[in-house]
């Protein structure tokens, strides 16, 4: 059974309402980020936060990341994009190249693509042997277990978009002189292999969804819904973790001034 489900939003929401909810979620995210960084609230830094984005080509990862970090001080959040490993990176274990980009206590990192490339593109395109990508599921689960055991909050997203909507976005990019650089022949070739990728995605969701770092599949056919859903899910994950650690996340008048930073 597919874990992906429909790419259509589960609720009908107007653009106006979606924008309003997104603005509220961004203010909520800003406050939580300031608590994690120790700028407001308890006089101590909070746990590290790592938000991982995977998804189909043209599924809205970039737009969602932009809305997530837009209200935050860029000094306290780092966005890292991962493409194919370099020659030197291939000389090491596949997880090695991600360690330097992970956030420390009080920090926040956003990953545009991640270690899941081993069980997705490297699997489908044959860049990893079957033995390598087969054992990677357990390696990834243990890697994330180690990070969360040390206190890290990991929020993982699969940005889901239907084949029809993906094609529409591809064609829009191809016809836009300021965005056609985002569309490559590899994107078109990957689209032709969607059944193979879908099988890999479903197995990934099934085998790397532990309670300490669960997946969130975001229906992405409606960009406005997808963006607010991402920010709200991150807020909920951080609030749950802080509440469990005994933080006061109810807010107060003293904290309101922080929104003007």
- pLDDT of residue 249 exceeding 90, the answer is no
Q: pLDDT class for 257, splitting at 50, 70, 90?
A: very low
Helices (H), the chain: 15-36, 61-69, 121-124, 130-149, 163-174, 185-192, 194-207, 223-244, 253-256
pLDDT one-digit tens code per residue, 53-67: 999 999 999 999 999
Residue ranges and CATH numbers for the domains of the chain are 15-256 (3.40.50.300)
DSSP letter for 149, please: H
The mean per-residue pLDDT over the stretch 199-212 comes to 97
Closest C-alpha among 240, 250, 249, 229 to residue 26: 229
Would you state the torsion angle of the CA atoms of residues 83, 88, 94, 97, taken in this order, to the nearest 10 degrees?
-70
Amino acid 251: pLDDT: 60
Closest C-alpha among 100, 25, 99 to residue 68: 25
pLDDT one-digit tens code per residue, 123-180: 999 999 999 999 999 999 999 999 999 999 999 999 999 999 999 999 999 999 999 8
**Residue 134 and residue 75 in contact, taking contact as beta carbons nearer than 8 Å:** no
Chain center to CA of 110: 7
Any residues with CB less than 8 A from the CB of 11 and at least 6 apart, and which? 225
Amino acid 1: pLDDT: 62
Amino acid 250: pLDDT: 74
**Residue 17 and residue 227 in contact, taking contact as beta carbons nearer than 8 Å:** no
Determine the Cα–Cα distance for residues 198 and 194; give it in Å rounded to an integer. Answer: 6
**Residue 32 and residue 242 in contact, taking contact as beta carbons nearer than 8 Å:** yes
pLDDT one-digit tens code per residue, 65-108: 999 999 999 999 999 999 999 999 999 999 999 999 999 999 99
Amino acid 255: pLDDT: 44
Q: Provide the sign of the torsion angle of the four alpha carbons 13, 18, 24, 28, taken in this order.
A: positive
* H or E element at residue 154: strand 153-160
Amino acid 2: pLDDT: 82
The mean per-residue pLDDT over the stretch 28-33 comes to 97
SS3 call for 216:
strand
SS3 call for 10:
coil
Determine the Cα–Cα distance for residues 247 and 46; give it in Å rounded to an integer. Answer: 9
């Amino acid at each position: 059974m597919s874990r992906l489900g429909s790419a259509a939003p589960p609720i009908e929401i107007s653009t106006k309402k979606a924008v309003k909810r997104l603005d509220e979620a961004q203010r909520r995210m800003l406050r939580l980020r300031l608590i994690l960084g120790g700028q407001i609230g308890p006089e101590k830094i909070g746990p590290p936060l790592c938000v991982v984005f995977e998804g189909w080509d043209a599924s809205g990862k970039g737009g969602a990341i932009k809305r997530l970090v837009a209200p935050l001080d860029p000094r306290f959040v780092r966005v890292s994009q991962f493409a194919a490993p370099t020659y030197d990176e291939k000389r090491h274990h596949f997880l090695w190249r991600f360690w330097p980009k992970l956030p420390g206590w009080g920090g926040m990192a956003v990953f545009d693509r991640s270690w899941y490339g081993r069980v997705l593109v490297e699997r489908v395109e044959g860049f990893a042997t079957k033995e390598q990508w087969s054992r990677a599921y357990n390696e990834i689960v243990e890697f994330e277990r180690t990070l969360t055991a040390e206190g890290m909050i990991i929020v993982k997203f699969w940005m889901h978009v239907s084949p029809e909507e993906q094609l529409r976005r591809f064609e829009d990019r191809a016809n836009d002189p300021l965005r056609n650089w985002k569309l490559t022949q590899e994107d078109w070739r990957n689209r032709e292999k969607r059944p193979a990728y879908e099988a890999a995605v479903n197995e990934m969701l099934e085998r790397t969804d532990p309670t300490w770092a669960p997946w969130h599949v975001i229906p992405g056919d409606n960009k406005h819904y997808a963006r607010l859903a991402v920010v709200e899910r991150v807020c909920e994950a951080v609030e749950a973790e802080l509440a469990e650690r005994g933080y006061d996340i109810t807010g107060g008048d003293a904290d309101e001034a922080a929104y003007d930073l």
